[in-house]
Amino acid sequence: MLLTEEAPARPRTIDPAFRRDILDGLAREPKATPPIWFYDRRGSELFEQITDLPEYYPTRTETALLKAHGLDFARAVGEGRAVVEFGAGSSRKTPHLLRAIRPAAYVPIDISGDFLQASSAQLAGDFPELPVLPVVGDFNQPLDLPREIAGMPRLGFFPGSTIGNMEPDAAVDLLRAMRRLLGEDAMLLIGMDRIKDRDRLIAAYDDAQGVTAAFNLNLIERINRELEGDLPVDGFAHRAVWNDEKARIEMHLEAVRPLHFHVAGACFHMDAGETIHTESSHKYGTRDERLLLRAGGWEPVEEWTDDEGLFGLVLAKA
Ligand code: AVI
């Protein structure tokens, strides 16, 4: 049962937030741009391909955990909650959770209206009794939940270790905002990628087929297309680096020669070897996970992980 309002028409003009973030990011020392801008249509397709790569263990491992522990979730969470998924994307993992806990409603939140409509329609077909109430929006900004779930206890679902793409301060702010949005009796099921062998981590972000490189370089093409840029795509190389001090994989676009280019009328220069830092993907020890959740106002109650301890699914309560 898909309950939705018509999606607003997509603006054809330059997105002012994209323009501002890219111009600010390129003017910064060192250059750094927020990872949200990877996800245009092409970027979202490339990300879907990444999730199937042999080197990219997170999606496969988390999906196996969701499939294996349905009875545990049902016991720990109970039936009749409204599931609110943050950044629902293609929602490929969600059916395993919905089947296990039989919620009273499902509220997927995503910034991409097209993607959300398609995946919500698919889920509504697979779960005909379940009210599916999509919300188009940025979950980093204040949001309203649909009136239909007023009074229902909620379970927030934030899979994929998307929390890891945020700086620790921003991650804490988001967890607090989720706590406020979901209310007093809420629970949160969150995927958190674990610290592990450095080579395995780097391979996951620099795969042999070059899909992650294409995903990173697509940002250059998007800037050229949408912001009147003239960055030479062959002037940049994809780099994935493990930053041990900050326990994170960093993706960079490195200038392979001195570069001069323009974006939205502004001129930029890069020396050979200089980089644009395009994404951080933080990884967590078990203690880090608990500390982060507590700082965000959540008390961890249970955790499931795979045999190798690659990835954790943590259940927390408000
Ligand atoms: C979406 N996010 C959790 C992915 C990650 O693993 O940090 C994005 C990604 N970047 C490169 N590969 C995947």
Q: What is the pLDDT of residues 168-180, one digit of tens each?
A: 999 999 999 999 9
Helix 286-295 with 168-182: angle, nearest 10 deg: 60
- CA 217, CA 41: separation in Å to the nearest integer? 14
Q: What is the DSSP code (8-state) at residue 22?
A: H
Confidence band (pLDDT; 50, 70, 90) for 73? Answer: very high
311, 193 Cβ separation under 8 angstroms: yes
Residue nearest to atom 11 of ligand 1 (CA): 205
Q: What is the pLDDT of residues 253-289, one digit of tens each?
A: 999 999 999 999 999 999 999 999 999 999 999 999 9
The pLDDT value recorded for residue 12 is: 54
250 lines ligand 1 (CB under 6 A): no
Burial (0-12, 13-18, 19+ Cβ within 10 Å), 216: buried
The pLDDT value recorded for residue 13 is: 73
CA of 153 to the centre of ligand 1 (A): 30
* Residues in Cβ contact with 197 at an 8 Å cutoff, skipping those fewer than 6 apart: none
The pLDDT value recorded for residue 4 is: 59
Cα 273 off chain centre by: 28
Rounded average pLDDT over 123-141? 93
- CA 26, CA 43: separation in Å to the nearest integer? 20
Lowest mean pLDDT segment, chosen from 84-93, 116-125, 137-146, 245-254: 84-93
At 299, the amino acid letter reads: E
Comparing 273 with 118, the larger pLDDT belongs to 273
The pLDDT value recorded for residue 8 is: 47
- ∠32-33-34 over CA atoms, to 5°? 130
- ∠157-102-125 over CA atoms, to 5°? 90
43, 221 Cβ separation under 8 angstroms: no
The pLDDT value recorded for residue 11 is: 44
301-305 contacts: CB < 8 A, separation 24 or more?
301/76, 301/187, 302/72, 302/76, 304/65, 304/68, 304/69, 304/72, 305/65, 305/194
Rg (CA), the chain: 20
CA of 147 to the centre of ligand 1 (A): 33
Q: What is the pLDDT of residues 169-211, one digit of tens each?
A: 999 999 999 999 999 999 999 999 999 999 999 999 999 999 9
Q: What's the chain's average pLDDT? A: 94
User: Sheet holding 135-136: strands in order across?
Assistant: 135-136, 105-110, 82-86, 154-158, 187-193, 311-317, 299-305
Could you tell me whether strands 154-158 and 82-86 are parallel, antiparallel, or unpaired per DSSP bridges? Answer: parallel
CA of 150 to the centre of ligand 1 (A): 33
Strand partners, 194: 284
Please choose from 37, 48, 50 the residue to mutate so as to test ligand 1's pocket, defined by most ligand atoms within 8 A of CB.
50
278 lines ligand 1 (CB under 6 A): no
At 233, the amino acid letter reads: V
Atom of ligand 1 nearest to the CA of 160: 3
The pLDDT value recorded for residue 6 is: 46
Q: What is the DSSP code (8-state) at residue 54?
A: S
298, 316 Cβ separation under 8 angstroms: yes
Could you tell me whether strands 259-263 and 266-270 are parallel, antiparallel, or unpaired per DSSP bridges? Answer: antiparallel
ipTM: 0.99
The pLDDT value recorded for residue 9 is: 47
Q: What is the pLDDT of residues 223-247, one digit of tens each?
A: 999 999 999 999 999 999 999 999 9
Burial (0-12, 13-18, 19+ Cβ within 10 Å), 95: middle
The pLDDT value recorded for residue 139 is: 86
The pLDDT value recorded for residue 111 is: 81
Residue nearest to atom 2 of ligand 1 (CA): 162
CA of 164 to the centre of ligand 1 (A): 8
212 lines ligand 1 (CB under 6 A): yes
Q: What is the pLDDT of residues 6-47, one digit of tens each?
A: 444 444 578 999 999 999 999 999 999 999 999 898 998 999
How many CB atoms are closer than 10 A to CB 30?
A: 10
Q: Residue 3 pLDDT > 80, yes or no? A: no
